[in-house]
Structure 1
Amino acid sequence: MKSILRLCQAVEEQAKEVYEGLAQRAADPDLASMWRELAMEEGRHREHWQMLLRSAERGQVPSLFPNEEEVEAELRSVLTRIAALRSGLDAPGNAAWPFVLGLRVQFQLLQPTLEYLLQWARRLSGEAEPKSGSEQALGRLVAAVRRCGAGPELDLACEMLVALQRQNQQLLLQSHRDALTGVRNRRGFLDAIFPLCHLAQRSGQTVGFLMLDLDDFKRVNDEHGHERGDEVLRAVARILQGNMRQSDVLGRHGGDQFIVFLSPVVAGAVAAVGEKLRLAVEEGTAGECPVTASVGGASGMLGRDVQRDVDKLLARVDACLFIARSTGRNRVVVQE
């Protein structure tokens, strides 16, 4: 991971130098200001990369990619292409040439690894739902291109880049969301909580997990059909989401199981939230197709090996859920 992070930092440093060069060469004060803003945005990203690198040096950043060598190779290719664009700053060209350079840099910065890791870093800094930096930068550049009337070809290039950026965001969202309920899937849940776990570990905060299993859900599908079963799962997801803090994270663990991450928590909080959610499900689905939930939970502090400690907490949650299911169901069992 450390080599990937260093490459990401180098890519954005090169992009910053291109924008600074364009600002220095811009005759129009407004355009010079816009290029400087883009350079400053890349400079602000440096803080995120340095924070991630420090965490990686301490062994606090898990391996986020199954194919790190391929990711490194793609980032090196991006770095080479942006360096080539930097060398073209003084190439002769018309008034549209700076926009061509800027758009080509933005195209390279749409590399998914950069955006993914930046969002990871922002969550580690405490931003619950970080915004896309590439979307904001591209928006400023596109607005400048259209304001200056750089020509139909560049207008088309802008439209294509905006569409590509939105498609990238949509694909990232789809890969992290459960299509049926709209909450995070297992991958999206883990991607969301691990930066928060590292943040809790650094600040010495206690974290908690809850796992909810809908009792005898097979009966719902058998008696009412799978379509009605899907409606129940969507309703349960809405009920859970509506009874959680904004800072907590909800995911569909699979099938009829949901998982909740709570941070920070105090003594007794996990059990109290578990009971609140259990009761909300029971009351919120009362009617033609009622369901109840068995709930297991655990809380604890995280040590230097965050991944290991999270795995241990989840194992305790699973054990508590087993007890709740095997001792009558529709109950909460928590180990704090």
Structure 2
Amino acid sequence: MVNTIRGEIDSGGLGRTLSHEHLTTGAAGMERIPGFMDTAERRQEMVDRCVEALARVRQSGIDTIIDLTPFDLGRQVWLFEAVAERHREHDVNVVCATGVYRWVPPIYFNWDPDEVAEHFVREIEDGIEGSDIRAGIIKLAWDLEARLTEGRNPPRAQMEKMARGAARAAKAAGVPISCHTLATDKLGVPLLDIFEDEGLDLRAVTIGHSNDTDDMAYLTGLAARGATVGLDRFFTTEETYVAQRSAIALNLVRAGYAEQVCLGHDAQPAGFWGKWNPERRSDLWTLVPEHEVPWMQANGASDDEIDAVLRRSIRATFDAAARMKG
């Protein structure tokens, strides 16, 4: 079973899924900063934007989005609750996350991996911040700070600890892990090394933002180890961009890894990336189903391969994680 913001569903009910999205983003505590979401009007607009975007992507044939916003990236439980209440208006499943974003917060510095795991499991099994919303996936983020290995509490050491905690939580609670990575630094490799050392089934792991590189040796290497390759950044419909990003997906499909590729945008309809975006867009989650997928089909991808990429790959990560529980 998979936790969504409306309760549990069978993994087969996920359907066509966008693997890496956000309702909102910013920072932990941003709800208490004047000018962000401190008025009823702003909060209502945030909810409306999310519902509109979900309804629009449902028209494109998407059944589920995975929201990978941990607390330090600005996760808002009230927003999940409000969007769940308006489910009839959009009919999209939303899976939300526990975990940690970039630059591990100091609150975790003195925790050991088991304490990290206990916290993540609590948000998966008991609920987030005292609510009935339970996380269905664990988020990790490894970016340029992974290069920093010296000094007191170096970022790399903290990130490795969090990865071990995430692996232990995934095994205990039976949920998958999805990783924001800096693909140009090939950070999926050390992450998979840690997960293997922790005894994790790598089929339950997605190495995300991998379409920020077209290094096929790196990408096929991730898949060959059993991981799912998250091609989950897609920001524009500019023709050359669509062709470049879509070709990465098609090349992995042609290499035999359709069942280990997932797609997404890394986009948010109500986010605060620096400040409130006045542009109200309901179509930001439609680029994959309405541009990338048609490009892949026009260039030889079969209906079965598209089904593998949008549906079966994601289900497989949840099923692999569930088999580890215990």
TM-score range, shorter chain: under 0.3
Of structures 1 and 2, the one with the larger relative CO (CA 8 A, separation 6+) is 2
Larger CA Rg, structure 1 vs 2: 1
TM-score, with structure 1 as normaliser = 0.24
TM-score, with structure 2 as normaliser = 0.25
Q: Which has the higher helix share?
A: 1
